[in-house]
Chain A
């Protein structure tokens, strides 16, 4: 517990804004690498994959904050909004590279969303994240009250769809997307168990 306490007291003293700066800088840096020919012979595909994977990693990190506190005592709740909003920004970058640089034609973008299941689930995941990004400000949290919590449970289906999207686009038997999908399912089932445990306690206090 001593280690967790030390981490907590350190994290309390750290500002959260560098998360935004670091993530935005990474996205811009990678784009510049692609622009200057340093991402190999097919930079569009590389950007698409790297943005997509990092977005998924950030979303998983956001989902892991609560279980981390429950099981280890390490409290990073302060950083969760920054992690979540940054994740949305990277998802947006991933979507933009796909739509504007990869597919390029508006008709083809729509056709892919409608016709290709792995694109459909990826796009749905993106849509679910939009209201979350828009309400990730203190004003919305106050205004929505308990409904904010309910609304932000949309991260659960968004993550499942994101994991499915990753698994669906790979060829052959690959471990990486399965590990992500497994991790997401594990984190979500932890949530469900935590929720189930919390509810009766609350009922007793009322």
Chain B
């Protein structure tokens, strides 16, 4: 949409994206295994055609949307974003996607809705990690409605102008660049508008380590490691660490959290 220009062109240009091989071979997608190379090895089995998304809850137009209908009429833009994993590594990814706000406008959000909940597909026969129950599935995530409506928040369908690889969350995934990567849920099959804060998988598993908000914040450490620095993937064996930026370098979202103690709401 028009507010897409919220991200200054200069800030985008300053970022050098990782090569496609990095983006496609270093992934966390526990449905396909816990190793970083497991998704690239196993994700091929996932069936993504046809793809439909269940839209329910406090919306005007609930129902089963085909991916094409949901995307119809929306402008796919390139967004070059920093991607910061909670494990203290990062990449720069040139996503292609639409603003989540535009999708939400299409389905019609009721005034009582306060949060958006998302759910990842579960295909046990095609997903070895699901069969092993490494974490509870389906993977679920959520955003507060104002976070979901922010122009930086997108639903991505491609990377580098190509359809997204399955290990990256094909055919459609969330990207919230100022939050740790696990918030950016992959391979979405359900979007629900709700009144209460929805469950989020890592928060359920370990609430002390993973909060609902999970904004990138160099001053609030993960209990098992520091979040002050990160390593850019692809720098080789002597790759230096770099300082992690508040909100992952997207200070324009700070107003969403005015008056909130970010150490308490981590």
* Chain A interface residues (CB < 8 Å from chain B): 31, 34-35, 37, 40-45, 47, 101-105, 108, 111-112, 116-118, 168-175
- A34 contacts which chain B residues (CB < 8 A)? 237
Q: Which 3 residue pairs spanning A and B have beta carbons closest together?
A: A41-B22, A172-B135, A172-B134
**Which single member of A102, A103, A116, A173 contacts B134 (CB below 8 Å)?**
A173
Please state if A44 and B234 are interface contacts (CB–CB under 8 Å): no
B205 neighbours in A (Cβ, 8 Å): 172
Say yes or no: B34 contacts A174, CB within 8 Å: yes
B237 touches A43 (CB 8 A): yes
- 25 A–B contacts, CB within 8 A, in A order: A31-B237, A37-B236, A40-B26, A40-B37, A41-B18, A41-B21, A41-B25, A41-B26, A42-B36, A42-B233, A42-B234, A43-B236, A43-B237, A44-B231, A44-B239, A45-B89, A101-B237, A102-B231, A104-B240, A111-B226, A168-B224, A170-B34, A173-B133, A173-B134, A174-B34
Main DSSP-derived SS at the B contact region: loop
B: number of interface residues (CB 8 Å): 30
A173: which B residues are within 8 A, CB to CB? 133-135
Which of B133, B134, B224, B237 is the one whose CB lies under 8 Å from A44? B237
Q: In the complex, what distance in Å separates the CA atom of A172 from the CA atom of B26?
A: 18
Flag if A42 contacts B225 (CB, 8 Å): no
Q: What's the count of A-B pairs with C-beta under 8 Å?
A: 63
Q: Which of B34, B237, B239 contacts A172 (CB 8 A)?
A: B34
B118, CB-defined interface residue at 8 Å: no
Give the interface SS of chain A, mostly helix, strand, loop or mixed.
helix
Contacts of B36 in A (CB 8 A): 40, 42, 45
Query: B residues near A, CB below 8 A?
Result: 18, 21-22, 25-26, 30, 34, 36-37, 89, 132-135, 205, 223-226, 228-229, 231, 233-234, 236-241
* A11, B88: Cα distance in complex, Å: 47
Question: CB distance A116 to B224 under 8 Å?
Answer: yes
Min C-beta distance of B237 to chain A, whole Å = 5
Are B225's CB and A116's CB within 8 A? yes
A170: chain B residues within 8 A (beta carbon): 34
For B241, the chain A residues whose CB sits under 8 A away are 103-105
Interchain nearest-CB distance for B27 vs A (Å) = 10
Q: Kindly state the separation between the CA atoms of A42 and B134 in the bound complex, as whole angstroms.
A: 23
Assess the B21–A112 pair: CB atoms within 8 A: no
